[in-house]
Amino acid sequence: RYLATGALLATLLATQPSHSSLLEHLESLAEHPSGLLGKLSSLASSLHASVGAESASYGLFRLGSLSGNHYLGILGTWIKLPAFAAVLPSSRRARGSAAASAASYMCTSSFEPAEQLVLLSVLLHLLWLTRPRCMVRHAVCSLDAVQRGRVWTLLTANASHAAFPHLLHNCIHLLQLGPLLHATLGCSDLLALMLTAALASSAASLLWNGVLGGRPKEGSLGASG
């Protein structure tokens, strides 16, 4: 245990991002048109980041900021931190189907879809620590669970992480890729992609473990799908 902890600390120290990598990350997030206008826009963004961006090392990680946005540098990558000061979603509500209303509610939240999934994953991990038997029943996707009527596990398993390293790994990737996908696809399309990926990964697990493997009680969990 102590060896693993030491190895983790050494890895965090060795892979702490630099301030220059923060500037490169901020530039990669900026969207620029093509042609001369794009080059001028890129130059302006680079100048703004080089002048306004700040970062400070805290030993195992680095914190950066620019224009009110805050970033966490850890394990060689940068993650945009959620705006915890504005937790409550907007009061606007879409009308129509229940699915459209739910999507509108999530898209008017102060958190992006990937950040919402991270927060849900953290909450479910806490439940793994306090209510493990309940989580095995309701947050692990298996053919046996679906056959017994617990079809919600097709979705809940995708935000379920029993082990902290598993949770940390997936949260880092979600917070790293989430803003890029959100900027490219938009909120509604990103939600549709995440839902499709969740159902597809659960279906693949049911097919591999339950149908082909003959292990109906063997389940899957995690946001990797």
Q: Determine how many CB atoms are found less than 10 A away from the CB of residue 92.
A: 9
82, 111 contact by CB (below 8 A): yes
State the chain's maximal CA–CA distance in angstroms.
61
Alpha-carbon dihedral 35, 41, 43, 49, rounded to 10 degrees: -150
From 133, 138, 139, 142, select the one nearest 219 (Cα to Cα): 142
12, 3 contact by CB (below 8 A): no
Alpha-carbon dihedral 61, 64, 70, 74, rounded to 10 degrees: -30
Phi, psi (degrees; rounded to nearest 5) at 141: -90, 120
Q: What is the pLDDT of residue 139?
A: 93
pLDDT tens string 104-150: 667 777 788 898 899 999 999 999 999 999 999 999 999 999 888 88
| Residue 96: pLDDT over 80 | no
Q: What is the pLDDT of residue 121?
A: 93
Q: What is the pLDDT of residue 86?
A: 40
Separation of alpha carbons 151 and 137, rounded Å = 11
Report pTM. Answer: 0.58
Least confident of 14-28, 99-113, 201-215: 99-113
- Token pair, residue 100, equals 């459209």
Q: What is the pLDDT of residue 32?
A: 53
Separation of alpha carbons 163 and 158, rounded Å = 14
Least confident of 19-28, 58-67, 71-80, 87-96: 87-96
Which one is predicted more confidently, 107 or 196?
A: 196
Sign of torsion over alpha carbons 58, 174, 80, 78: positive
Q: Output the average pLDDT for the chain.
A: 80
Q: What is the pLDDT of residue 75?
A: 78
Which one is predicted more confidently, 159 or 4?
A: 159
How does residue 224 score in pLDDT terms, banded at 50, 70 and 90?
Answer: confident
